[in-house]
């Protein structure tokens, strides 16, 4: 590569031209430096000239220009690559949408034809009545000449299984291409280049069914490998065993599978499936993985029922994976099941009869896993604490699996029931084989093998009315002090230490330390969070120096998007040691809230504003009309609670009594919170108030905008946004980081919009523990205290560019900032607002 550089100082020595052409050796030397340091300082450039004799005839200014041009070319190359990727994605998405549009057009034509036919039948009803006898004879004759086709006899031989596989393939392809099932778009799922895909659910069919089309940046073989490993992405999958596998003559593979899935609650039995899976390649190069249950109607081999499991049926389902031009794959997923709803209590049957629930748990989960792995491979996903994505995914899977094991309590895992204390509200199960339960996680150093006892689980389920699951779980996550007991937390943490410990007495609401949420990782669409919870100031007794002052929980939170129809909300946590080792033993406990009725589009959010957090997530808090109070009046959900504890053999009864008492106190606390969160049937204004001295979100947003216009002289947002909810939404989604801090000697943050929370890497609850001086560097602190008087007297001040530190210690630079004083309705100072413009992490 040859690059032309300006060489004004060498005019006298170069008569032919004022430009210099770099030699290949010079370019190679500069490229080596560029790979190590794309932006060398002046001293580094001079050092380079001294160390490389081949660059001795080049002026430092020319080398500076070379590096500028090189950075510019690199930036252009990356931008061109990004635009090409976006173009390929849009082209593939356009193809998907065109195919979906063609399918809908055919469906419309069919409906128009059927409508015309029915209209003609109604018009000719009188004529048809007179010809009933003749018509009956003709119909009867037709049936005689067209008998129902019979399937050829099939058995467990390869030929019989191949016949079943080919039939499964034909039925699956029909569903994947939009036929065979009456598909309707899933509520809340809007197609687009940034969406998870096009998701549809069955309108009327046998069982429940969901269909999705999407684009992923992985090759078809990798996509099939991930999707076939169902336990790695389907949280409800307990095990998937391949009992038999053999190749077919056309290059495909037939497998006989046995799969077990967890029950979502203690009130229902788990499901299992006996299926045939067929993998093959079509003539157009598409890769197909299809699957169906083997039963008496299809023929083929069978296996006997398994105790504690209900045999469910998988109708023809699978994955159609087409290679995408330019890289990646277009994938179509079909899930079609009959989950035997007759086997569960009537109140739970909506859970097993909802195609929306199936779509959230299986179909969308598969697309999300593919998208997550694709973005991890490209480096687009940033994880905290230096952990690799695979390690963090493993932590999430272990938390979810451990909680599912606790809820189900299978006997083959070593669980058995203890006798009750006369009240059947809480179930106690024990596992006297912790080695079997923990597997390879148990080591002699973590204290679990020296128990001489085992694991005890206290669990309960109850029905909730009129409270959105997402709102309840979000409250439990952000307000742990409302239900947790610090003594019980400390007891659970002591299981990770080799020292002995005693059984504490449960004291509901005895949380004594503060809670800090430290983000660890999240999925691409932020539907699931993995985080570390730091609980400060814990200990069973003050005299016990063995326990650390702070304790930590590894926590998994999912389903807190209130617009996700049919989504289950979960909060699962487990105590961890300070070392936070990759193979640390986990004993998960937590909550799961399952909606029993899917919310329809436009049903709105909750009717309560407990604080700024609950108001801003949906942007619909505050004053409502009385007609809105019934929006969730028929919303029902099932709450399942499971808490696990270790015990020593001689303390088993004491731990069981403590666990019962604790779970009952947690249930009472959750019921109290649920009643507070539920909309009132009498008045939309009756309910919990915000914390004293804190205005509601809508009021604060109005004060911020009015004060900005008063002091700066222009509107923060466009003039046509007068509605309070519109102002709140615009403030929350503003691209610049906007933060409010108190007017005190040590200013503390009280509120931030989404960009502000991202900049500080924190949450609205943890934000209140961060003071202004913690995020500003030395220059920023000097600038703020210099301009503080101007802000109070004049009402605003412009701050120069600088650097802030997030709660995780990461530096974030900003081009400039504005600070202004916020006045309330009485014209007194309420807080100071900072707006950091064009910020980015360094």
Given pLDDT bands bounded at 50, 70 and 90, which one contains residue 602?
very low
Going by the DSSP 8-state scheme, the letter that residue 55 receives in this structure is: G
Sort residue 802 into left (φ over 0), alpha (ψ -120 to 50) or beta. Answer: beta
Instruction: Give tens-digit pLDDT for 656-695.
Output: 999 999 999 999 899 888 888 876 543 333 333 333 334 4
Q: Which of 243-252, 332-341, 700-709 has the highest mean pLDDT?
A: 332-341
Dist. CA 654–CA 504, nearest whole Å: 9
C-alpha 798/C-alpha 776 separation (Å) is 15
pLDDT-derived band of residue 382, with 50, 70 and 90 as boundaries? low
Nearest C-alpha neighbor of 212 from the set 315, 336, 106: 336
CATH 3.40.1120.10 fits 695-841, yes or no: no
- State the Cα–Cα distance between residues 598 and 355, nearest whole angstrom: 9
Of residues 242 and 687, the one with the higher pLDDT is 242
pLDDT at 696 over 70: no
Q: pTM for the whole thing?
A: 0.66
pLDDT tens for each residue of 698-736 = 888 888 888 888 888 888 876 555 555 578 888 888 888
Considering the segment(s) 158-378 as one domain, its CATH architecture is 2-Layer Sandwich (3.30)
pLDDT band per the 50, 70, 90 thresholds, residue 215: confident
Reply yes or no on whether the pLDDT at 23 is more than 70.
Answer: yes
Q: Which residues contact 786 (CB under 8 A, 6 or more apart)?
A: none
CA distances from 369 to 74, 525, 572, 622 (A): 31, 11, 20, 36
Domain 381-433+452-496+515-537+549-598+634-679 identical in fold to domain 695-841: no
DSSP string, 776-789: B-HHHHHHHHHHHH
The model's confidence at residue 64, banded by pLDDT at 50, 70 and 90, is confident
Domain boundaries, the chain: 158-378, 381-433+452-496+515-537+549-598+634-679, 695-841
Write out the two tokens for 11. Answer: 């005019």
Q: Specify whether the backbone of 413 is left (phi greater than 0), alpha (psi in -120 to 50) or beta.
A: alpha
Tokens found for residue 827: 């014209």
pLDDT over threshold 80, residue 452: no
The torsion angles phi and psi of 441, rounded to 5 degrees, stand at -75, -20
| Contact in structure between 302 and 295 (CB atoms under 8 Å) | yes
The pLDDT of residue 25: 84
List Cβ<8 Å contacts ≥24 apart for 251-258. 251/280, 251/281, 252/165, 252/278, 252/279, 252/280, 252/281, 253/278, 253/279, 253/280, 254/158, 254/161, 254/162, 254/165, 254/278, 255/279, 256/161, 256/294, 256/301, 257/291, 258/303
C-beta atoms surrounding 4 within 10 Å: 13
- Cβ atoms within 10 A of the Cβ of 724, count? 17
Sequence-distant (≥ 6) Cβ neighbours of residue 137 within 8 angstroms:
none
Find the mean pLDDT for residues 206-231.
91
**pLDDT of 182 strictly over 90:** no
The average pLDDT across 766-780 equals 77
Judged against a pLDDT cut of 50, whether residue 328 lies above it is answered with: yes
Of 525 and 466, the structure prediction assigns the larger pLDDT to: 466
Specify the pLDDT at position 788: 78
Q: Are 103 and 198 in contact (CB under 8 A)?
A: no
Starting from the edge strand earliest in sequence, which strands make up the sheet with 816-823, in order? 749-752, 737-741, 829-837, 816-823, 796-799
Name the percent of the chain in helix, strand, coil, to the closest 5. Answer: 40, 25, 40
* Calpha distance 66→70 (Å, rounded): 6
Helix (H/G/I), strand (E/B), else coil: 87 = helix
Q: Coil, strand or helix: which one is 354?
A: coil
Strand 183-185, strand 313-314: pairing: unpaired
Please, which pLDDT band fits residue 566 given cuts at 50, 70 and 90?
low
Least-confidence region, from 46-55, 374-383, 595-604, 744-753: 595-604
pLDDT (0 to 100) of residue 188: 67
- Which segment of 61-65, 252-256, 540-544 scores lowest on mean pLDDT? 540-544
pLDDT at 53: 83
**At CB < 8 A and 24+ separation, what contacts does 712-721 make?**
712/796, 712/818, 712/820
Question: pLDDT averaged over the chain?
Answer: 77
Residue 405 reports pLDDT greater than 90:
yes
- Tens of pLDDT, residues 7-16: 444 444 444 4
Rounded to an integer, the average pLDDT of 284-309 is 85
CA pair distance 225, 567, nearest whole angstrom? 26
Query: Among 57-61, 334-338, 632-636, 831-835, which stretch is predicted with the lowest mean pLDDT?
Result: 632-636
Residue 170 has pLDDT above 80, yes or no: yes
Residue 554, Ramachandran bin (φ over 0: left; ψ between -120 and 50: alpha; else beta): beta
Residues 616-642: what's their mean pLDDT? 54
Q: Cα separation of 696 and 352, whole Å?
A: 39
**Right CATH number for 381-433+452-496+515-537+549-598+634-679 from 3.30.530, 2.30.29, 3.90.1720, 1.10.3470?**
3.30.530
Instruction: Give, as one character, the DSSP assignment of residue 569.
Output: E
Predicted confidence band of residue 275 (pLDDT cuts 50, 70, 90): very high
Give the whole-angstrom CA distance, residue 158 versus residue 154.
10
* pLDDT of 288 higher than 60: yes
Highest mean pLDDT among 164-178, 414-428, 577-591, 627-641: 164-178
């Amino acid at each position: 590569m040859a690059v032309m550089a300006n060489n004004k100082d060498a005019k006298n020595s170069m008569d032919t031209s004022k430009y210099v052409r770099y030699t290949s050796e010079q370019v190679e030397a500069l490229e080596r430096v560029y790979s190590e340091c794309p932006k060398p300082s002046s001293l580094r450039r001079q050092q380079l000239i001294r160390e490389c004799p081949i660059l001795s005839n080049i002026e430092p200014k020319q080398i500076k220009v070379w590096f500028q041009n090189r950075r510019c070319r690199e930036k252009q190359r990356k931008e061109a690559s990004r635009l090409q990727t976006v173009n390929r994605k849009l082209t593939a998405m356009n193809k998907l949408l065109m195919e979906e549009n063609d399918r809908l057009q055919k469906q419309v034509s069919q409906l128009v034809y059927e409508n015309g036919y029915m209209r003609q039948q109604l018009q000719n009803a009188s004529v048809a009545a007179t010809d009933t006898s003749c018509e009956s004879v003709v119909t009867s004759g037709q049936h005689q000449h067209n008998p129902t086709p019979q399937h050829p006899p099939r058995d467990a031989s390869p030929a019989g299984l191949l016949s079943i596989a080919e039939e499964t393939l034909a039925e699956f392809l029909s569903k994947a291409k939009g036929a065979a099932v009456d598909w309707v778009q899933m509520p809340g799922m809007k197609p687009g280049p940034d969406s998870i895909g096009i998701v549809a659910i069955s309108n009327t069919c046998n069982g429940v069914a969901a269909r999705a089309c999407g684009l992923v940046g992985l090759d078809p073989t990798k996509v099939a490998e991930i999707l076939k490993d169902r336990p790695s992405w389907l949280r409800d999958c307990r095990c998937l065993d391949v009992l038999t596998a053999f190749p077919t003559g056309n290059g495909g593979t037939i497998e006989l599978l046995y799969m077990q899935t967890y029950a979502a609650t203690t009130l229902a039995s788990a499901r299992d499936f006996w299926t045939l899976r067929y993998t093959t390649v079509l003539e157009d190069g598409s890769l197909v993985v299809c699957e169906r249950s083997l039963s008496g109607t299809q023929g083929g081999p069978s296996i006997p029922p398994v105790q504690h499991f209900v045999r469910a049926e998988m109708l023809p389902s699978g994955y159609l994976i087409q290679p995408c031009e330019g890289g990646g794959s277009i994938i179509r997923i079909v899930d079609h099941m009959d989950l035997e709803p007759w086997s569960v209590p009537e109140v739970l049957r909506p859970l097993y009869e909802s195609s929306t629930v199936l779509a959230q748990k299986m179909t969308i989960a598969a697309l999300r896993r593919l998208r997550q792995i694709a973005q991890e491979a490209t480096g687009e996903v940033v994880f905290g604490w230096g952990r690799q994505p695979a390690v963090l995914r493993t932590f999430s899977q272990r938390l979810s699996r451990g909680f599912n094991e606790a809820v189900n309590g299978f006997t083959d895992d070593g669980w058995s029931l203890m006798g009750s204390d006369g009240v059947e509200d809480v179930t106690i199960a024990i596992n006297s084989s912790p080695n079997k339960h923990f597997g390879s996680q148990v080591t002699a150093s973590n204290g679990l093998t020296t128990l001489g006892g085992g694991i005890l689980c206290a669990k309960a389920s109850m029905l909730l009315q009129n409270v959105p699951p997402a709102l309840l779980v979000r409250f439990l996550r952000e307000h742990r002090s409302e239900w947790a007991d610090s003594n019980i937390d400390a007891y659970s943490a002591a299981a990770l230490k080799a020292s002995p410990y005693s059984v504490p007495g449960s004291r509901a609401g005895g949380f004594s330390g503060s809670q800090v949420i430290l983000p660890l990782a999240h999925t691409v669409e932020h539907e699931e969070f993995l985080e570390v919870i730091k609980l400060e100031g814990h200990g069973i007794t003050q005299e016990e120096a063995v326990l650390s002052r702070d304790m930590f929980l590894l926590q998994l939170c999912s389903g807190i998007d209130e617009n996700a129809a049919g989504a289950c909300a979960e909060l699962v946590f487990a105590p961890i040691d300070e070392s936070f080792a990759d193979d640390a033993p986990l004993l998960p406990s937590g909550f799961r809230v399952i909606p029993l009725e899917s919310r329809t589009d436009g049903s709105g959010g909750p009717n309560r504003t407990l604080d700024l957090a609950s108001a801003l997530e949906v942007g619909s808090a505050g004053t409502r009309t009385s007609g809105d109070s019934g929006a969730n009046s028929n919303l029902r959900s099932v709450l399942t609670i499971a808490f696990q504890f270790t015990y020593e053999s001689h303390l088993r009864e004491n731990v069981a009594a403590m666990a019962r008492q604790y779970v009952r106190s947690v249930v009472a606390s959750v019921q109290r919170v649920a009643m507070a969160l539920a909309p009132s049937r009498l008045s939309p204004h009756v309910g919990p108030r915000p914390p004293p001295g804190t205005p509601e979100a809508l009021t604060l947003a109005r004060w911020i905008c009015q004060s900005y216009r008063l002091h700066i002289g222009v509107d923060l947002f466009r003039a046509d946004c007068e509605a309070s909810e519109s102002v709140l939404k615009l403030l929350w989604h503003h691209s610049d980081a906007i933060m409010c801090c108190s007017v005190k000697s040590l200013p503390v943050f009280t509120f931030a919009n989404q960009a502000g929370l991202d900049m500080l890497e924190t949450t609205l609850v943890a934000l209140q523990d961060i003071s202004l001086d913690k995020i500003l560097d030395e220059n920023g602190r000097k600038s703020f205290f210099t301009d503080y008087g101007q802000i109070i007297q004049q009402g605003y001040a412009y701050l120069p560019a600088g650097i802030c530190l997030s709660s995780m210690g990461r530096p974030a630079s900003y081009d400039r900032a504005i600070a202004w004083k916020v006045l309330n309705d009485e014209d007194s100072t309420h807080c100071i607002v900072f707006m950091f413009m064009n910020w980015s992490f360094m």
